Amino acid sequence: MAEETRVGTEVSLAVGEIVRMVNTDVIAAYPITPQTHIVEHLAELVADGKLDADFITIESEHSALSACLGSAAVGARTFTATAGQGLELMHEVLFVASAMRLPIVMAVANRALSSPLNVWGDHSDVMAARDAGWIQIFTENGQEVVDTMLCAFRMAEDRRVLLPVMVNIDGFHLSHMIEPMFLPSQKEVDAFVPPNHYPFPLDPNKPVAMGDFAPPIIYTEAKWSQEINIEHSAPVIREIWGEFATQFGRTYRPVESYRAEGAKTLLLTMGSFSETAMTAVDKMRAAGIDIGLIRIRLWRPFPFAEFREAAKGADTLIVLDRAISFGVGGPVAAEARSALYPMEKRPRVVSFVGGLGGRDITVAGFEEIVKRGKEIAAHGSPREFEIFGVRE
Amino acid sequence: MDKQSVFIPKLISRKEPFAPGHRACIGCGEALAVRQLCKELGDNVIVVNATGCMEIIASQLPNTSWTVPWMHTLFENTAAVASGASAGLRAMKRKGKGPSQYVKVVGMGGDGATSDIGFGALSGALQRGHDFLYICLDNEAYMNTGIQQSSATPFGASTTTGPAGEKSLGQVSWKKNLPAIVAAHDVPYVATACPSYFHDMLSKVRKAMAVRGPAYIQVLSVCPTGWRCATNQTIRLGRLAVESGMFPLYEVVNGEYTLSLDLPTLRPVREYLKAQGRFRHLPDHEIDYIQTRVDKEYAKLRKLSRVAKAPAAARPAVTHVPESQGEIAAGLPALQETVDGILARYRNDPALLISILQDIQAAYNYLPKESMERVGSGLNIPLSQVYSVATFFKAFSLKPRGRNLIHVCLGTACHVHGAARLRDKIQRALNIEPGGTTPDFRFTLETVNCVGACALGPVVMINGKYHGQMTAQKVDALLKSYT
């Protein structure tokens, strides 16, 4: 678009710029690698008077998200960011934020979990939080992070949604990249993200009680309404992405396919590894190997229809997870299997876990995964899932 | 401590922001405390409540006892949620959003939520200096989950996780001194209180509400269920806790300690302990140990403190411009001097009491209670006599009034010309009842039965100026002309 400017900057800083442009009121954040560049940049913007917000230098992540509850409940536009252990310390609060319908936007610079201590990227943190009732979106590159951040405020605060939104950004591999990105102009942001009008704020002029005690006679209904609510957010999410495409010319969908048409073998990834996977797909296609790629962008609410549509026709779906559900395998693979199961003709799911704790997977690595995946599809594996590149 | 218990009912709001019908146990000291606290907190608050008895008894869906905005999220994060709410209100106010009036965020939690699981969150919020009041409702154990031991459980108490037995006394460490820990955060206002001394408790809430920054009040809330005592002993046990020195009442204002109730001799702790089943197992030598320790702690506190003298302890620092007449009067350091000046003008003559009170009202727009104490002692007459005069005449107000005083005449002549409609119109325009004051202290509305200007009826008098032949249509313009 004409009014956007192309800048080369670090992805974390671009996140901060979007938080500034939407005129956020409150940021409550606790420093944790690799999220720090996001909050440091925001603190700087506040200190320099470029963003008129209260930046709460809070004493823990549990309190960070708790402060966000209070801030969102009085109707303030609220942002926080975390990673890894921080997300786990927030765990209890995550469920409250979604059940109380508080539109908080949180960037997660995805990181591995202790022990042993590891500050690098994988999806262990977010996979442990997948059932918390948040809208969860995975991003692939800097531009997508910028665009998703902008859409996240719209989605969270839409009166039909009113849910917290988690924007997943692979720690270091994406959060610390310096990339060229189109940043919207202030005018475009103002046009796209209207002011936050939380419909039921804590206000003495119109008192409400939030977070009451629910005995068995009403708890099930409360949870059912929460489920209905997140299901109903899906069309709104699509609608907002549609509007974004009209205004900015970049299209986002819950599930993306890359050279998947007619492919009998598909690779499934989430997050920043998809870029490498695309290069690998190009290379393999050029070598005559039958392969395509699908990528889940909207992880919660899970886009069943789009996912089945993207996977249909394939014989094999090779899923690469960047987290282990211990005793089970890859969490994405497990969900993919369950989503595909009702289909009459469905691809066989082959599960790999890899890229843990920041270990890179190169183009050659993906070629190897596809090669081994095809072998497993044809001959089976002694294991439910395999770990890519592990030294035994 | 204020010595006005006889007249307190006249000074306390009849409104019940904490509505009856909740599920508290019989004799619950905490529900009693919250009911009284809420009267003083008023309407312009947001209450953030920790999980615990108070949340469970008062908010079971689909009912609630809370008529003010109220939020419960989790057990350990109340101070953090309050931080966020306070910051949110502040940021929005800066940007011209949110409620237009000043709103105080009030965190409430039990002793477990405050001194144990939520300790870190409380410390963080105090240190950051958010504008909020935190009230710890201390019933000395996890009562909601069934009387388990907390760090606020006193030495020797038997609880379900620290039971007395053949080899145990129950709790064997001393109660955590949370008010002192809070005071160590260098916050403007810290106090201990007990609903058995509710006038003292409410005056502390008033002071805490005037602070623009963190304030903390720890309220001892007798729990007959957990303390194993009769349900009609709540008030008595609260008094015994204070008078025995087990739970002394004091304030820490800007780091300076003041004992609210200085006791030359403490009652024996035995009297307090023997009244409760949780201490039933204690042998005499353990009671002696407690006595020694309490004496020592009390002496320490007394050494730290000065003693509160009338009219009141030092006021907490009000770092922002006061937003109401009430605050101005309450915070006026010159009150003593002003009242003494007026008394001197009338040669301290008790026969001129009415004139003296009129002059004080002219100075403050109402009669601050500290001023009446000063008048009583200055004229050497009982305080009851000052109150009897102050409450007899309608012209005197014991509550802060607005800058502009509206009198709507409802005398016969005005009445037949539609004065009631005028009154209703003004009520609607200002959203107050007769006798009420707008939250911004711009107007107080009162009705009178004749202003002696029947030919002009209907008459509305503002600040002594007559506005005759008033109509409902003219009211808005008239009100607009007074700022």
CA distance B169 to B160: 12
> What pLDDT, in 10s, does the model give residues B11-34?
778 889 999 999 999 999 999 999
Looking at residue B361, its pLDDT comes to 85
CA atoms in the 13 A half-sphere facing the CB of B411: 17
Angle in degrees, CA A143, A11, A71, rounded to 5 = 100
Residue that the structure tokens 């039921």 belong to: A200
- Chain B residues in contact with A61 by the CB 8 A cut-off are none
CA distance B426 to B418: 13
> What pLDDT, in 10s, does the model give residues A131-167?
999 999 999 999 999 999 999 999 999 999 999 999 9
CA distance A361 to B196: 69
Q: Select the more confidently predicted residue: B164 or B412.
A: B164
According to DSSP, residue B116 is labeled I
- Please report, in angstroms and rounded to a whole number, the separation of the first and last CA atoms in chain A: 51
CA atoms in the 13 A half-sphere facing the CB of B288: 3
- How does strand B214-220 pair with strand B189-193? parallel
Check pLDDT > 70 for residue B238: yes
Say if CB B165 and CB B149 are below 8 A apart: no
- If we measure between CA atoms, which residue out of A120, A64, A69 comes closest to residue A89? A64
Q: What is the ipTM of this complex?
A: 0.95
Residue that the structure tokens 């809370």 belong to: B66
Find the closest chain B residue to A66 by CA distance. B81
Q: Cis bond leading into A116, ω under 30°?
A: yes
Provide the CATH number for the domain formed by A255-387 in this structure: 3.40.50.920
CA distance A137 to A126: 10
Selected residues 14-73 of chain B with any CB under 8 Å from a CB in chain A: 43-46, 48, 55-56, 59-62, 64, 66-73
Q: Where are the domains of chain A?
A: 5-248, 255-387
- B111 burial (CB, 10 Å; 0-12 / 13-18 / 19+) is buried
- Chain B residues in contact with A74 by the CB 8 A cut-off are 46, 85, 88-89, 92, 98
| A197 to A79, A103, A158, B81, B101: CA distances (angstroms) | 15, 10, 9, 20, 19
Check pLDDT > 80 for residue B221: yes
| A169 to A87, A111, A216: CA distances (angstroms) | 13, 9, 38
Instruction: Give the number of A-B residue pairs with CB atoms closer than 8 Å.
Output: 176
> What pLDDT, in 10s, does the model give residues B178-193?
999 999 999 999 999 9
| CATH level 3 topology of A5-248 | Rossmann fold (3.40.50)
List the single residue in A76, A204, A213 with the smallest CB-CB distance to B88. A76
List the single residue in B55, B88, B95 with the smallest CB-CB distance to A70. B88
Q: Please indicate if any CB of chain B lies within 8 Å of the CB of A46.
A: no
Say if CB B363 and CB B400 are below 8 A apart: no
Find the closest chain B residue to A95 by CA distance. B73
CA distance B299 to B442: 48
Residue A283 distance to chain B (closest CA, Å): 51
- B323 burial (CB, 10 Å; 0-12 / 13-18 / 19+) is middle
- If we measure between CA atoms, which residue out of A37, A278, A321 comes closest to residue A171? A37
> What pLDDT, in 10s, does the model give residues B74-113?
999 999 999 999 999 999 999 999 999 999 999 999 999 9
Selected residues 76-95 of chain B with any CB under 8 Å from a CB in chain A: 76-77, 79-92, 94-95
Looking at residue B319, its pLDDT comes to 36
- B283 burial (CB, 10 Å; 0-12 / 13-18 / 19+) is exposed
Q: Please indicate if any CB of chain B lies within 8 Å of the CB of A1.
A: no
- Chain A residues in contact with B19 by the CB 8 A cut-off are none
Provide the CATH number for the domain formed by B404-480 in this structure: 3.40.30.10
Looking at residue B4, its pLDDT comes to 52
**Strands across the sheet containing A209-210:** A209-210, B70-72, B45-49, B104-110, B132-138, B214-220, B189-193, B250-253, B256-259, B305-307
Check pLDDT > 90 for residue B315: no
- Chain B residues in contact with A70 by the CB 8 A cut-off are 48, 71, 80-88, 105
Task: Please answer yes or no on whether B77 and A62 come within 8 Å at the CB atom.
Answer: yes
- Chain B residues in contact with A73 by the CB 8 A cut-off are 71, 81, 84-85, 88
The token pair that represents B346 in the structure block: 């009338």
Interface test with B, best of A20, A63, A219, A225 (most B CBs within 10 A): A63
Say if CB B226 and CB B30 are below 8 A apart: no
> What pLDDT, in 10s, does the model give residues B396-421?
888 888 888 898 998 888 888 889 88
CA distance B313 to B110: 27
Residue that the structure tokens 């958010």 belong to: B130
Q: Please indicate if any CB of chain A lies within 8 Å of the CB of B210.
A: no
Q: Please indicate if any CB of chain A lies within 8 Å of the CB of B227.
A: no
- Chain B residues in contact with A92 by the CB 8 A cut-off are 74
Angle in degrees, CA A233, A236, A242, rounded to 5 = 145
- Percent of chain B past pLDDT 70, that is, above it, reads 92
List the single residue in A75, A204, A213 with the smallest CB-CB distance to B43. A204
The one-digit pLDDT tens for each residue of chain A (392 residues) are: 458 999 999 999 999 999 999 999 999 999 999 999 999 999 999 999 999 999 999 999 999 999 999 999 999 999 999 999 999 999 999 999 999 999 999 999 999 999 999 999 999 999 999 999 999 999 999 999 999 999 999 999 999 999 999 999 999 999 999 999 999 999 999 999 999 999 999 999 999 999 999 999 999 999 999 999 999 999 999 999 999 999 999 999 999 999 999 999 999 999 999 999 999 999 999 999 999 999 999 999 999 999 999 999 999 999 999 999 999 999 999 999 999 999 999 999 999 999 999 999 999 999 999 999 999 999 999 999 999 999 98
* Helix/strand/coil for B163: coil
Q: Please indicate if any CB of chain B lies within 8 Å of the CB of A80.
A: no
CA distance B422 to B426: 6
Residue that the structure tokens 């869906």 belong to: B61
Task: Please answer yes or no on whether B71 and A72 come within 8 Å at the CB atom.
Answer: no
Angle in degrees, CA B249, B252, B255, rounded to 5 = 155
- If we measure between CA atoms, which residue out of B423, B437, B440 comes closest to residue B322? B440
Task: Please answer yes or no on whether B120 and A201 come within 8 Å at the CB atom.
Answer: no
Kindly report the average pLDDT of chain B as a whole number. Answer: 89
Find the closest chain B residue to A77 by CA distance. B88
> What pLDDT, in 10s, does the model give residues B324-368?
444 444 444 567 888 888 888 888 888 889 889 988 888 887 888
- Please report, in angstroms and rounded to a whole number, the separation of the first and last CA atoms in chain B: 37
Task: Please answer yes or no on whether B71 and A211 come within 8 Å at the CB atom.
Answer: yes
Q: Cis bond leading into B311, ω under 30°?
A: yes
Interface test with B, best of A212, A219, A223 (most B CBs within 10 A): A212
Provide the CATH number for the domain formed by B8-307 in this structure: 3.40.50.970
Helix (H) or strand (E) holding B326: helix B325-331
Looking at residue B293, its pLDDT comes to 97
Looking at residue B226, its pLDDT comes to 97
Check pLDDT > 50 for residue B311: no
* Torsion angle of the four alpha carbons B336, B338, B342, B348, in this order, in degrees rounded to the nearest 10: 20
Q: Which amino acid is at A318?
A: I
Q: Where are the domains of chain B?
A: 8-307, 325-392, 404-480
- If we measure between CA atoms, which residue out of B176, B142, B182 comes closest to residue B159? B142
Find the closest chain B residue to A198 by CA distance. B98
- Percent of chain B past pLDDT 90, that is, above it, reads 60
Q: How many Cβ atoms sit within 10 Å of the Cβ of residue A72?
A: 32
Say if CB B194 and CB B247 are below 8 A apart: yes
Q: How confident is the model at residue B9 (pLDDT cuts 50, 70, 90)?
A: low
Looking at residue B8, its pLDDT comes to 58
